[in-house]
Amino acid sequence: MKLEDLRKIRERAEKDISLRRGDARVNVVIGMGTSGIAAGARNVMSAFLDEIGKRDLADTIVTQTGGRGLASSEPIVELHIKNEPVVVYGEMTDDKARRVVAEHIVNGSPVSEYVIEVRD
Amino acid sequence: METITLTIDGRTITAAPGQSILEVAEANGIRIPTLCHLEGLSDVGACRLCIVEVAGQLVPSCTTQAVDGADIKTQTDTIKVHRRMILELLFAEGNHVCSFCASSGGCELQDLACELEMHSVTVPYSYPRNRIDATHPWFLIDRDRCVLCGRCVRTCAEVEGAHTWGFAERGSSARVITDLAADWGEAESCTSCGKCVEVCPTGAIVLKGASNAEMRKDSDLVARLTERRDHE
Amino acid sequence: MPHRLDVLVCSGAACVSNHTADVRDALQSAIEAHGLSTEVRLVETGCMGPCELGPILLVYPEGALYIRVTPDDANEIVEEHFLKGRPVQRLLWEDPAARRIAEEKKQVAFFERQEKVVLSNCGTIDPEDLQEYIATGGYEALGLALTERQPEELIQIVLDSKLRGRGGAGFPTGLKWQLAARAEGDEKYIVCNGDEGDPGAFMDRALLEGDPHAVIEGMTIAAYAIGAAKGFIYVRAEYPLAIRRLEIAIDQARASGLLGEDILETGFAFDVEIRIGAGAFVCGEETALIASIEGQRGMPRTRPPYPSDRGVFGQPTLINNVETWGNIRHIVLRGADWFRSIGTESSPGTKVFALSGKITNTGIVEVPMGTTLRELIDEIGGGIPDGKALKAVQTGGPSGGCIPAQHIDTPIDYESLKELGAFMGSGGVIVLDEDDCMVGIAKYFLEFSCDESCGKCVPCRVGTRTMLSILERITDGRGTLGDLEQLQMLADTIRSTSLCGLGQAAPSPVLSTMKHFREEYEEHVQTATCSAKRCKALIRYEIDRAACKACDLCRKACPVEAIEGTPGEPPYTIHESVCIQCGRCFDVCPFDAVRIESGKKKQNEVEG
pLDDT of residue C119: 96
Q: In this predicted structure, which of B11-15, C109-113, C377-381 has the lowest mean pLDDT? A: C109-113
Q: Which residue of B has its CA nearest to C504?
A: B58
CA distance A85 to chain C (A): 20
Q: Is residue C82 part of a domain?
A: yes
pLDDT at A110 over 50: yes
CA distance A48 to chain C (A): 9
Which residues does chain C have within 8 Å of residue A38's beta carbon, measured at their own beta carbons?
Answer: none
Q: Which residue of C has its CA nearest to B124?
A: C466
Q: Which residues contact C480 (CB under 8 A, 6 or more apart)?
A: C525
CA distance A3 to chain C (A): 6
Summarised one tens digit per residue, pLDDT across range A12-30 is: 999 888 888 878 899 999 9
Instruction: Report CB contact under 8 Å: B93, C486.
Output: no
Are both C302 and C228 inside the same structural domain? yes
pLDDT at C354 over 60: yes
Domain ranges of chain B: 4-75, 94-231
CA distance B39 to chain C (A): 18
How many beta-carbon pairs below 8 A join chains A and C?
89
Residue to substitute from B76, B87, B122, B123, interface C, most C β-carbons within 10 A: B123
Q: Which of C4, C62, C258 sits opposite A49 (nearest CB)?
A: C4
Give the CATH fold of the B94-231 domain: Alpha-Beta Plaits (3.30.70)
Q: Is residue C402 part of a domain?
A: yes
Summarised one tens digit per residue, pLDDT across range B123-148 is: 999 999 999 999 999 999 999 999 99
**Mean pLDDT of the region C415-443:** 91
Q: Which residues of C touch A (CB under 8 A)?
A: 1-6, 8, 39, 60-63, 83-86, 124-125, 131-132, 134-140, 143, 146-147, 256-258, 264-265
Are both C143 and C281 inside the same structural domain? yes
What percent of chain B is predicted at pLDDT more than 90?
96
- The Cα A119–Cα A108 span in angstroms is 17
Give the orientation angle of helix C481-497 with respect to helix C518-527, to 10 degrees: 140
CA distance B75 to chain C (A): 15
Q: Tell me which residue range forms the domain holding C46.
A: 5-107
Report the phi/psi class of residue B37: left, alpha or beta, with left for phi > 0 and alpha for psi in -120 to 50.
beta
- Going by the DSSP 8-state scheme, the letter that residue C570 receives in this structure is E
Q: Which residue of B has its CA nearest to C281?
A: B170
Do C and A have ≥3 inter-chain CB pairs under 8 A? yes
- Residue A37 phi/psi, 5-degree rounding, is -65, -40
Domain B4-75 of CATH type 3.10.20.740: yes
pLDDT of residue A67: 64
Q: Is residue C497 part of a domain?
A: yes
Instruction: Report CB contact under 8 Å: C497, B122.
Output: no
Chains touching B, CB cut-off 8 Å, 3+ pairs:
C
Q: What is the CA radius of gyration of chain A?
A: 16
CA distance C147 to chain A (A): 8
Are both C560 and C456 inside the same structural domain? no
pLDDT of residue C606: 46
Summarised one tens digit per residue, pLDDT across range C192-202 is: 999 998 888 89
List, in sequence order, every beta strand (DSSP E) within C373-447.
390-395, 401-404, 428-433
Are both C174 and C237 inside the same structural domain? yes
- The Cα A44–Cα A95 span in angstroms is 8
**Mean pLDDT of the region C563-570:** 93
- The Cα C392–Cα C247 span in angstroms is 40
Instruction: Report CB contact under 8 Å: C256, A1.
Output: yes
Q: Which residue of C has its CA nearest to A2?
A: C264
Q: Which of C1, C134, C147 sits opposite A49 (nearest CB)?
A: C1
pLDDT of residue A58: 84
Domains, chain A, in order of start with CATH, read 21-119 (3.40.30.10)
Q: Which of C496, C527, C558 is the last residue of a domain?
A: C527
Are both C415 and C380 inside the same structural domain? yes
Report the phi/psi class of residue C550: left, alpha or beta, with left for phi > 0 and alpha for psi in -120 to 50.
left
Residue to substitute from A1, A76, A80, interface C, most C β-carbons within 10 A: A1
Taken in order C440, C441, C442, C447, is the CA torsion positive or negative? positive
Q: Which of C76, C107, C138 is the last residue of a domain?
A: C107
Instruction: Report CB contact under 8 Å: A24, C63.
Output: no
Are both C135 and C283 inside the same structural domain? yes
CA distance C260 to chain A (A): 12
Which residues does chain A have within 8 Å of residue C124's beta carbon, measured at their own beta carbons?
Answer: 20
Summarised one tens digit per residue, pLDDT across range C227-242 is: 999 999 999 999 999 9
DSSP-H helix ranges across C344-480: 373-374, 414-419, 438-452, 458, 464-475
Instruction: Report CB contact under 8 Å: B170, C452.
Output: yes
- The Cα A48–Cα A60 span in angstroms is 10
- Other C-beta atoms closer than 10 Å to the C-beta of C297 total 16
Across chain B, mean pLDDT equals 96
Summarised one tens digit per residue, pLDDT across range B63-112 is: 999 999 999 999 999 999 999 999 999 999 999 999 999 999 999 999 99
Closest by alpha carbon to C234, among C188, C283, C184? Answer: C283
Instruction: Report CB contact under 8 Å: B51, C456.
Output: no
- Going by the DSSP 8-state scheme, the letter that residue C394 receives in this structure is E
CA distance C59 to chain A (A): 9
Summarised one tens digit per residue, pLDDT across range B154-207 is: 999 999 999 999 999 999 999 999 999 999 999 999 999 999 999 999 999 999
Across chain A, mean pLDDT equals 89
- The Cα C180–Cα A118 span in angstroms is 65
Which residues does chain C have within 8 Å of residue B64's beta carbon, measured at their own beta carbons?
Answer: 302
Summarised one tens digit per residue, pLDDT across range C255-299 is: 999 999 999 999 999 999 999 998 899 999 999 999 999 999 999
Summarised one tens digit per residue, pLDDT across range B7-58 is: 999 999 999 999 999 999 999 999 999 999 999 999 999 999 999 999 999 9
- The Cα C227–Cα C232 span in angstroms is 15
Summarised one tens digit per residue, pLDDT across range C2-35 is: 788 999 999 999 999 999 999 999 999 999 999 9
ipTM: 0.96
Instruction: Report CB contact under 8 Å: C4, A63.
Output: yes
pLDDT at C382 over 50: yes
- The Cα C456–Cα A47 span in angstroms is 71
pLDDT of residue C2: 75
Are both C375 and C316 inside the same structural domain? no
Instruction: Report CB contact under 8 Å: C497, B86.
Output: yes
Instruction: Report CB contact under 8 Å: C85, A2.
Output: no
DSSP-H helix ranges across C104-190: 109-112, 130-135, 140-148, 151-161, 173-182
Which residues does chain C have within 8 Å of residue B123's beta carbon, measured at their own beta carbons?
Answer: 466, 486, 490
CATH number of the domain to which C490 belongs: 1.20.1440.230
CA distance C139 to chain A (A): 8
CATH number of the domain to which C267 belongs: 3.40.50.11540
Residue to substitute from C480, C495, C496, interface B, most B β-carbons within 10 A: C496
Residue to substitute from B61, B79, B85, B125, interface C, most C β-carbons within 10 A: B85
pLDDT at C132 over 50: yes
Are both C176 and C280 inside the same structural domain? yes
Report the phi/psi class of residue C383: left, alpha or beta, with left for phi > 0 and alpha for psi in -120 to 50.
left
Chains touching C, CB cut-off 8 Å, 3+ pairs:
A, B
Are both C266 and C388 inside the same structural domain? no
Number of structural domains found in chain C: 5
CATH number of the domain to which C561 belongs: 3.30.70.20
Instruction: Report CB contact under 8 Å: C1, A61.
Output: no
